[in-house]
Structure 1
Amino acid sequence: MNKIVINLFLILYLLIGSCNVRKAAVIDKMSEYSNPLPVDFGDPFVLRDGGMYYMYGTGAGAKRGFMAYSSANLKEWKSEGQVYFGNNKNGWGTGAYWAPEVYKRDGKYYMFYSAQWKHNPTNEKENFKIGVAVADKPTGPFVDLNDRPVFDPGYPIIDANVWFENGKTYLYYSRCCYKHPVESEVAAWAKAKGLYDEIEESWVYGVEMKSDFSGTIGEPVLLLRPPIKMGTDEWESRSVTSQEVNRRWTEGSFIFKNKSTYYMMYSANNFDGKNYAVGYATSRNPLGPFKKAENNPVLQKNEKVTGTGHNSVTWSPDGKDMLCVYHGRTAATGHTRLVFIDKMEILKDGRLIVHGPTIIE
């Protein structure tokens, strides 16, 4: 009898030990990137260069400009201080410095960003445009190429994203909601409910850009917009249906290519609310047409993380894992946006999935 009891205790001990090992493995796997990172960026963008990662984003204490962080492993991050100042010799902005992205071309580093243009003869509340600055190092200092934005489409724009292919350069951006009311079934529903008289929308466009980034070629092409009909992609209308605000966003686009398919990730809903989320669309051409995915959204709030959005994509140091870099909020961080990194992948059937949001407590 004693031998049987001892054997039972031994089996129980081994089972508990095995569970603890598995639990530890799960925790270790989830904590690979220590979500959230101690970086209070919105709109994070990661550049990989020379064995190092450089992260740029909105906020983090920058004064009329942008901060940067560096890392060798995506886990420990070092502040590089402010790398772009809006009052540089060619500075054209007056505020609202948002969403920087940095690309290396011919040994130089080019930062695309959004800002409020000081040329504002009609005193528009939102006079956002896109500019480009250059530096010799990823840590700056970045100086504007010109004393003006890249171009003026006649409406406010933000969230630049750039794609290079076959000697061509493509610029993607979001037209702001400002003064852009759009008729839709959602707008009609909101008006009938007495919620809002009109619903303003932001749309994602693409346009070819000159190789020296001094301007654009041809007319912008509309690529993505919120759904017109109720019951279609309803997750993109939560800012309205949850009565947050009378706006629907399609913004924060990020394009990449897998085999022969272009994937454009984008964010919808109010960036300042809990329903901010990420979806994607696919195309065979860099300027579309793009078709939204049936498994959207691929990143959205859960019981621990909210406001998940405006992502970029990078790869793990060993090159094996595709990673989604985005901002979000937790109960502990309050309204401050912090950076999260989660694995993502393209399945055999072409579907994109993000394994997140995850959090380490």
Structure 2
Amino acid sequence: MKNVFVSLSLFCIFVCCSQDKDETKAPVITVPKNIFVADPTIFYNDGTYYLYGTTTGNIANGDGFLVYTSSDLQKWSEPKGAQNGLALKKGDSYGDKGFWAPQILKYNNKFYMIYTANENIAIASSDSPLGPFKNESKKPVFETGNQIDPFIFIDEDGKKYLYFVRLTNGNRIFAAELNDDLQSIKPETLKECISGTLPWENTQNTNWPVTEGPTVVKHGGLYYMIYSTNDFRNPDYAVGYATSQSPFGPWEKSSNSPIISKKNAGFNGVGHGDVFWDKANVMHYVLHTHFSETEVSPRKAAIIDMEFTGKELKATSNSFRFLKN
């Protein structure tokens, strides 16, 4: 009887200790973190979304471009680039500082990254969206001047156009037809498109008005240029658009601009992004915001849904969300 009593006591102690141990075990909770990139772009290929941009977090933007991946636009990976998270690494292509505003496109079974470095524009290529993107010549598209924020648009007839910002009496948006090698322009086609002339485009009334970050899409026979205005440090940094019947203009600015601003997004400094379509063919605009109400950097990546209503382009305010991993 004594042995039975001892056994039962030991069993109760074991059970109680086990219960106490289980009750005190803290659950593992993963808190999603903001992704800190500015001037972002999202490229979709073969079931995967790839996010690139100007790095504003722990890695200086002099190192190149990180790339994040997602299968659903909800959960993003840590940087997945071929070279320690970088899709393009300094030394493999043109430039040694100021790596800004990349765009990715697929052309003739290769992937191309057009980007800014040293306040000029260059194009690198790779066999994978993860890189490594390289340009053996290490030469920019333009031999003279300062230009940033490139975007390539390929029209239905196969002609290729480079839209970019030239730093001359303000940040002004220009266009030129690209040669088929995607490395040079046809100089005779170079033309200015848009500058900051409206009150919402220069809320601080500066002597250097800013229009930048162009993206061009075609819908219903019209060309739509989506662009950002004001200095990126200005809380009024915002997104508007203009339309044209030609890739070169003349461009008619929408009376509904800005279509994305702190008023409908709810955050300061919203702008400079890119359009993309998801797996369900829903149109989105990926952009950045200021870090907080009082701090500009590091800037946060976010997306907002967009749609065409007739000839009008609109953003869906309640669809705004930050990208997290």
Normalization by structure 1: what TM-score?
A: 0.73
Opposite residue 137 of structure 1, the aligned amino acid is S
The equivalent position to 2:147 in structure 1, one of 145, 150, 157, is: 157
Distance change >3 Å, CA 205–CA 332, structure 1 → 2: closer
Partner of 1:222: 192
SS of residue paired to 1:296: coil
What corresponds to 2:204 in structure 1? 239
What is the match of residue 72 of structure 1? 71
| Inter-CA distance 109–37: structure 2 relative to 1 (3 Å threshold) | farther
1:306 aligns with 2:268: yes
1:100 aligns with 102
- State which drifts further: 55-64 or 334-343: 55-64
What is the match of residue 121 of structure 1? none
Aligned residues: 278
Alignment match, 2:231: 270
Residues of 1 paired with 2:273 and 2:33: CA distance? 14
| 1:265 counterpart SS class | strand
Match of 1:82 among 82, 86, 94: 86
What residue number does 1:296 align with? 257
Q: What SS is found at the alignment partner of 1:144?
A: coil
Cα deviation, 1:287-341, whole Å, max 9, x if unaligned, reads: 111110010101111384010010211123212x211111012537943211111
Instruction: Give the conservation status (yes or no) of the 8 Å contact 1:113–1:160.
Output: yes
> Which residue does 2:29 correspond to in 1?
none
RMSD: 2.0
Q: Does 1:114 align with 2:110?
A: no
TM-score (norm 2): 0.81
Superposition deviation, residue 202 in structure 1 = 1.3
1:332-358 deviation digits (Å, cap 9, x = unpaired):
79432111111111112x111112373
Contact residue 37 and residue 338 of structure 1 kept, 8 A: no
> How far off is 1:43 after superposition?
0.4
Taking the aligned partners of 2:240 and 2:293, their CA distance within structure 1 comes to: 26
| 8 Å CA contact 2:40, 2:287 repeated in 1 | yes
3-state DSSP of counterpart to 2:122 = strand
Identity of aligned residues (%): 32
Q: Output aligned runs, 1:166-245, within 5 Å.
A: 166-176=157-167, 180-181=168-169, 201-217=170-186, 218-227=188-197, 233-240=198-205
SS of structure 2 residue aligned to 1:143: coil
Structure 1 298/145 Cα, relative in aligned 2: closer, same or farther at 3 Å? farther
Query: Larger Cα Rg: Structure 1 or Structure 2?
Result: 2
Is the contact made by 1:304 and 1:331 (CA closer than 8 Å) also made in structure 2? no
| Displacement of 1:173 | 0.3
The answer to whether the aligner puts 1:38 opposite 2:37 as a matched pair is no
Match of residue 337, structure 1, among 275, 296, 299? 299
User: How far, CA to CA, are the matches of 1:145 and 1:238 in structure 2?
Assistant: 43
- Mapped to 1, the partners of 2:294 and 2:106 lie a distance apart of 33
Report the Cα distance in structure 1 between the residues aligned to 2:51 and 2:97, rounded to whole angstroms. Answer: 21
Check conservation: 1:132, 1:145, Cα contact below 8 A.
no
Retained in 1: the 8 A contact 2:42–2:274?
yes
Mapped contact 1:37–1:339 kept (Cα < 8 A): no
Following the alignment from structure 2 to structure 1, what is the Cα–Cα distance between the partners of residues 53 and 133? Answer: 14
**TM-superposition CA deviations, 1:264-288 (whole Å, max 9, x none):** 0000001122111111000111111
Cα displacement string for residues 96-149 of structure 1 (whole angstroms, at most 9, x for unaligned residues): 110011111111110000011xxxxxxxxxxx1100001100000010152210
Q: Which consecutive aligned stretches of 4+ in structure 1 deviate over 4 angstroms post-superposition?
A: none
Please give the secondary structure, in 2, of the residue aligned with 1:235.
helix
Q: Check whether the contact 1:304–1:330 (CA below 8 A) recurs between aligned residues.
A: no
Separation in 2, partners of 1:294, 1:44: 26
2:95–2:138 contact (8 Å) kept in structure 1: no
Counterpart residue number, 1:10: none
Contact 1:51–1:72 (8 Å) recurs in 2: yes
Counterpart in the other structure of 1:281: 242
Code of the aligned partner of 2:38:
G
Query: What code does the residue aligned with 2:164 have?
Result: Y
Q: In structure 1, the residue corresponding to 2:200 is in which secondary structure?
A: helix
Secondary structure, counterpart of 2:202 in structure 1: helix
Cα-to-partner distance string for 1:17-75 (whole Å, 9 max, x where unaligned)? xxxxxxxxxxxxxxxxxxx9721110001111111111110014255210011111111
Q: Whole-Å Cα distance in 2 between the matches of residues 234 and 150 of structure 1?
A: 33
The question of 1:136 aligning with 2:127 is answered yes
> Can you give the 5+ residue segments of structure 2 that lack an aligned partner in the other structure?
1-31
Say if 1:304 and 1:167 are closer, same or farther in 2 by CA, change over 3 A.
Answer: closer
